[in-house]
A and B are shown apart, each in its own frame.
Chain A
């Protein structure tokens, strides 16, 4: 086996040195009835070529985003990632290193985490960011738990514009943890009355902007109302590129900002691994979940970085920890921070303008298709269409025409009246004018 350096003669010599006649002797603590006699019922070893062929066949049955006009978003976005990013994250020293618990020999990881935290804090308009969560959805559930610790209350109010799967993650954890959740009904137009749901028992209000339906939400009045009642505003985003063009959640009064960072540096990969961004105000740092990297000096006075405030974490505090998170999204942070470093603020803003311009163009084209209504007033690179028939059928008909044309809301919110005909559509920098024209033409045919 190519991955195993020991030869049979090594094994024989080593067994003799250990003082056993066969390796099975060492496994003799395992109760006899649980031991496997022979081999489990799975295929035998394969050479590299055979494995590659096998997996290649499976991969070939899927339609990659780059191969067709592609307008699917709803929480994960197709963006162009510079070739430099994927090369650098495959450097052995980054890829095959562990969590930087020995800072003297992991300054590489620690310094990029410090730079990552700085970038995320600036983008979100917050004081501090952590070294990542698994993704946006799990980060949102953690943000709710954090708000409960800060406010010593346990009721979360979730906007109807929150990604339905994010909502499900929060509801699932809160439900089993014994916390209360008030979820507002789906809000495709961004016109829900969330202010009236905030009272003195509310721990936090969770609002996504741009919403699942693409609508930009003014967070300021919600922040004000929340603060009047001693509650926190948790601002969520799934499209981090929007922060290049839209007022930051921090500037709008958010107390915790959490979002999905996939759009910068990370491929779609069918939903994971992604990278959760998590930022908050200075006064709440000791209630934050996840790892934090901080600056310090070494014994010679040189600047260096370490994981810090770890008394919040499970490996020190065990059942008193702020979260159970251990492994996070280290390498996805690296991809994020490299891409962000190449962009800089100037590049990010330009990228965001291109995205917005493309979405505006697409909206005009699609709005002109007979029977199509656009629900959004203010949006970034994604918006929602009301179609004259079920969106699921339309999307399948578009597939037949070689176009991946968005996400039917009913896929995530099945069986809800009024949502069946809604289609969420995104346009990023990867779409060309030809792609958009093809989409509009195909949609017209499908709806005719």
Chain B
């Protein structure tokens, strides 16, 4: 058995399942937990409610005939069920979460507290506007911060997440083209783009044309001009992420924007990586026409295991008139929330509505609390620290891991490819899974698609130097281990997580998407002997 410096066994077979069998399957504090339907009962409830007095229902012919067959748990059982489940999750609060492009930064609890103030959490979207002036003010103030930080002239607050913001921006672009009597059909998307970009363009019936990256991972304005020339008069927009998904700032962005505008097309900027440049540069000065801002990335509203997010979209002068309902107009007695077409004034031509109500208010409160806490100085410092941390990781690893575009500065995230694993028998996936055994969430893998076996690391500004040092040392140890041929550490990893590798092929081949009640047993079980 091999031991590490603290004398703990490191060889997986010994430390894993076989080490010490238990009757329950639990391992000390690591509890197995059944599905709620297996431990709950359909004839109880964990909420004390009194049956109403006898009354004559007025449901017409539509009363439910069968009972709702859903199990309940009493309150103590429910508490235990969900606390046990929670312990099977990795989280920012438990460790460094280097998911590139996802920006897993600290989520301050002040923001949670603010969102739960009754004046924000317990107000209805359709109660009279005269009873919610503070809510309209908050949306207006957040919008102001977003416009100042981006240097843009309007903002659509209602989109519910980044992809929804992309859809909003592209709908505004399409509406603007139609208003100008045109309807070009092509959207240019670099191959390094997030999958949401081409998916969004396709939702609106656009044909997606790829733009190749140059050697250094950035977009060549000449290439953009060539694609525009190829589809002369038929290009609606380019969708470009900046800093891009390789962690590099598109240095020719102004030229690219000019080429796009020259062709009567619009520049949609995917703002997923805006966190790298907040307070350092304004997208409005780069020629951007529309950009969504992921409040759940840049402004730290919690990811919540996959949402909710919020994706306000800032718009240029040219697109501002097409901003969807609802929007806020500055009035002489304060901000006014415009909810319907009938409320619009001259020049306002909303293309429609993205969602019922006014957007992700709960996220707005959190984001504004975050912004006010940082202030203009703190936001700038956060961007600088995020970029510094990423470069610190880069220089700590670049001699052992492989940078696809050579040793150069990166922005808030650093991209490696799998060249350094060549001939080791270890894949990017194996490498990532071995990180789990070391107590780290893996980095983003196999994205962006433009490099082979991509590993995209975004440490964020929330990590201390000591935390980065340990992370770098751990990855160095893993690389050396791979190079020494210790493939077992990787091929079966993770060994120490709540589950070993899961069979995704099986899950997809015959999908089981809900719990099914076991068939009643037709035969008496055999009597115990």
Closest-by-CB residue of B relative to A22 is: B384
Nearest A-chain residue to B132, judged by Cβ = A62
Q: Which residues of A250-288 are within 8 A (CB) of B?
A: 251, 267-273, 275, 285
Q: A105 — which chain B residues lie within 8 A by C-beta?
A: 88-90, 436, 441, 494, 497-498
Taking a contact as CB atoms under 8 Å apart, the answer to whether B118 and A6 are in contact is no
Task: Indicate if the CB atoms of A115 and B128 lie closer than 8 Å.
Answer: no
- Cβ-defined contact, A1 with B72, below 8 A: no
Q: Can you name the residue of chain B whose Cβ is closest to the Cβ of A82?
A: B47
- If A36-B282, A76-B126, A341-B36 touch, whether A91 touches B83 (CB-CB below 8 Å) is yes
Bound Cα distance from A312 to B517, whole angstroms: 28
A102 touches B441 (CB 8 A): yes
Within 8 Å CB of B492, what residues of A? 299
Give bound CA distance, A429 to B48, whole Å. Answer: 12
- Nearest CB of chain B from residue A211's CB, rounded to whole Å: 12
CB distance from A121 to the nearest CB of B (A): 5
Measured as residues with beta carbon below 8 angstroms from the partner, the interface class of chain A is 35 or more
Q: Which residue of B lies closest to A3 (CB)?
A: B106
Instruction: Point out the residue from B93, B131, B343, B500 that lies within 8 Å of A63, measured CB to CB.
Output: B131
Q: Which 8 A-B pairs have the closest CB atoms?
A: A344-B72, A172-B352, A271-B357, A59-B119, A378-B60, A331-B304, A271-B125, A347-B45
Contact B125 A346 (CB under 8 A): no
CB of A345 to closest CB in B, whole Å:
3
154-183 of chain B: CB within 8 A of chain A: 160-164, 166-167, 171, 174-175
Contact status A343-B45, CB under 8 Å: yes
User: Is residue B108 contacting chain A, with contact meaning CB distance below 8 A?
Assistant: yes
Q: Which of B38-85 contact A (CB under 8 A)?
A: 40-47, 49-53, 55-73, 75, 78-79, 81-83, 85
User: Which residues of the partner chain B approach A388 to less than 8 Å between Cβ atoms?
Assistant: none
Q: Can you list 11 A-B pairs, Cβ within 8 angstroms, ordered by A? A: A27-B387, A41-B376, A75-B125, A76-B125, A119-B70, A272-B358, A272-B359, A294-B507, A294-B511, A296-B504, A297-B503
User: Which positions 146-188 of chain A face chain B at CB distance < 8 Å?
Assistant: 163, 165-166, 168-169, 171-173, 175-178
Answer yes or no: B324 CB below 8 A from chain A CBs: yes
CA distance A119 to B373 in the complex (A): 40
- Please measure, in the bound complex, the distance between the C-alpha atom of A97 and the C-alpha atom of B87, giving whole angstroms: 11
Closest Cβ–Cβ distance, residue A442 to chain B (whole Å): 14
Instruction: Assess A168 versus B125: contact at CB under 8 Å? Given A40-B279, A58-B119, A324-B166.
Output: no
Residues of chain A lying within 8 A (CB to CB) of residue B480: none
Verify if B138 is at the interface (C-beta below 8 Å from A): yes
Do A72 and B126 have beta carbons less than 8 Å apart? yes
B307 touches A328 (CB 8 A): yes
Residues of A within 8 A of B376 (CB): 39-44
Indicate if B266 sits at the interface (CB-CB under 8 A).
no
B391 to chain A, nearest CB (A): 5
The answer to the question of A440 belonging to the interface, with a C-beta cut-off of 8 Å to chain B, is: no
Binds A, one of B312-320, B363-371, B415-423: B363-371
B523 at the interface (CB under 8 A from A): no
Which single member of B46, B167, B368 contacts A347 (CB below 8 Å)? B46
B120 located at the interface, meaning its Cβ lies under 8 Å from any Cβ of chain A in the complex: yes
A79–B167 Cα distance when bound, in Å, is 32
Asked whether any CB of chain B lies closer than 8 Å to the CB of A353, the reply is yes
Distance in Å: Cβ of B139 to nearest Cβ of chain A: 9
User: Given the complex, which residues of A lie within 8 Å of B452, measured CB to CB?
Assistant: none
Are B149 and A40 in contact (CB-based, < 8 A)?
Answer: yes
Judge if B115 is at the interface, Cβ distance under 8 Å.
yes
Interface membership of B450, Cβ < 8 A: no
| Interface residue? A93 (CB, 8 A) | yes
Is there an interface contact between A145 and B90, defined as CB atoms closer than 8 Å?
A: no
B-chain residues with CB within 8 Å of residue A294 when the two chains form the complex: 507-508, 511-513
Task: Verify B64–A247 contact, CB threshold 8 A.
Answer: yes
B303 at the interface (CB under 8 A from A): yes
Is the pair A4, B385 in contact by a Cβ cutoff of 8 Å? yes
- Chain B's closest residue to A167 (CB) is B353
Name the B residues within 8 Å of A350 (CB-CB).
Answer: 45, 49, 51
Instruction: Given A40-B148, A40-B282, A302-B500, output 19 extra A-B contacts at Cβ < 8 Å.
Output: A6-B385, A25-B409, A29-B249, A41-B376, A59-B117, A59-B134, A75-B126, A88-B82, A88-B86, A94-B304, A99-B307, A270-B132, A272-B308, A272-B363, A299-B502, A308-B507, A324-B167, A346-B44, A356-B59
The yes or no answer to A418 lying at the interface (CB within 8 A) is no
A-chain residues with CB within 8 Å of residue B132 when the two chains form the complex = 61-63, 270
- Measured CB to CB, the closest approach of chain A to B372, in angstroms, equals 5
1/0 per residue, CB under 8 A from B, across A12-50: the answer is 011101111001011111110111100111111111101
- Chain A residue nearest to B46 (CB atoms) is A342
Q: Is the CB of A103 within 8 A of B502?
A: yes
Which of A5, A26, A58, A119 has a CB less than 8 Å from the CB of B387?
A26
Contacting residues, chain A, for B106 (C-beta < 8 A)? 3
Q: Are B131 and A134 in contact (CB under 8 A)?
A: no
Given A244-B68, A331-B304, check contact A3 B382 (CB 8 Å). Answer: yes
Q: Does B511 lie within 8 Å of A309, measured CB to CB?
A: yes
Contact A429 B385 (CB under 8 A): no
Q: Do residues A106 and B305 form an inter-chain contact, with CB atoms below 8 A?
A: yes
> Does A368 count as interface, using CB distance less than 8 angstroms?
no
Q: B263 at the A/B interface (Cβ < 8 Å)?
A: no
* A330 interface residue (CB < 8 Å to B): yes
Cross-chain contact A317 with B195 (CB below 8 angstroms): yes
| A28 CA to B248 CA, complexed, in Å | 11
Least CB distance from B296 to A in Å reads: 7
Q: Are A319 and B91 in contact (CB under 8 A)?
A: no
Complex Cα spacing A33 to B253, Å: 12
Task: Quote the shortest CB–CB distance from A239 to chain B (angstroms).
Answer: 13
Q: Which listed residue (A108, A306, A316, A429) contacts B85, Cβ 8 A?
A: A108
Chain B residues within an 8 Å CB radius of A2: 373
**Chain A residues with CB under 8 A of B371:** 42
- Shortest beta-carbon distance, A259 to chain B, in Å? 12
Task: Assess the A67–B196 pair: CB atoms within 8 A.
Answer: no
Contacts A39-B380, A135-B356, A176-B204 given; indicate if A104 touches B78 (C-beta within 8 A): no
**B259 interface hit (Cβ, 8 Å):** no
A31–B358 contact, CB under 8 A?
A: no
Tell me if B203 and A104 are in contact (CB < 8 A).
Answer: no
Whether the Cβ atoms of A270 and B89 lie closer than 8 Å is: no
Minimum C-beta distance from B287 to chain A (A): 9
A-binding segment of B3-11, B223-231, B458-466, B481-489: B458-466
In the complex, chain A residues whose CB is within 8 Å of the CB of B104: 96, 98
B309 within 8 A of A: yes
B149 & A42 in contact (Cβ 8 Å cutoff): yes
Q: Is B45 within 8 A of A344, CB to CB?
A: yes
Shortest distance between the CB of B464 and any CB in chain A (Å)? 4
Nearest CB in chain B: distance from A191 CB, A? 13
In chain A, what residue has the closest Cβ to B75? A84
Give residues of chain B (483-529) contacting chain A, Cβ–Cβ below 8 Å.
492, 494, 497-504, 506-508, 511-515
**Closest Cβ–Cβ distance, residue A142 to chain B (whole Å):** 10
Q: Is the CB of B358 within 8 A of A342?
A: no
Does any Cβ of B come within 8 Å of A325's Cβ?
yes
For residues 1 through 45 of chain B, which have their beta carbon under 8 Å from a beta carbon of chain A? 17, 33, 35-37, 40-45
Chain A 50-69 interface mask (CB, 8 Å, partner B; 1/0): 11101111111111111100
Q: Is the CB of A94 within 8 A of B357?
A: no
B375→A44 contact, CB < 8 A = yes
Q: Which residues of A contact B43 (CB under 8 A)?
A: 346
B202: nearest chain-A partner, CB-CB: A319
A28 (CB) vs chain B CBs: closest residue: B409
Known contacts A285-B513, A296-B502, A344-B44; is-contact A316 B195 (Cβ 8 Å): yes
B99 at the A interface (CB under 8 A):
yes
Question: In the assembled complex, how far is the CB of residue A143 from the closest CB belonging to chain B, in whole angstroms?
Answer: 14
- How far apart are A285's CB and chain B's nearest CB, in angstroms? 7
The residue on B at minimum CB distance from A45 is: B375
Whether B121 lies near A407 (C-beta < 8 A) is no
Say if the beta carbon of A90 comes within 8 Å of chain B: yes
User: Chain B residues with Cβ under 8 A from A50's Cβ?
Assistant: 372
**Contact (Cβ within 8 A) B72 A347:** yes
Choose the segment among A193-201, A222-230, A332-340 that binds chain B (4+ C-beta atoms closer than 8 Å). A332-340
User: Given the complex, which residues of B lie within 8 Å of A329, measured CB to CB?
Assistant: 307-308
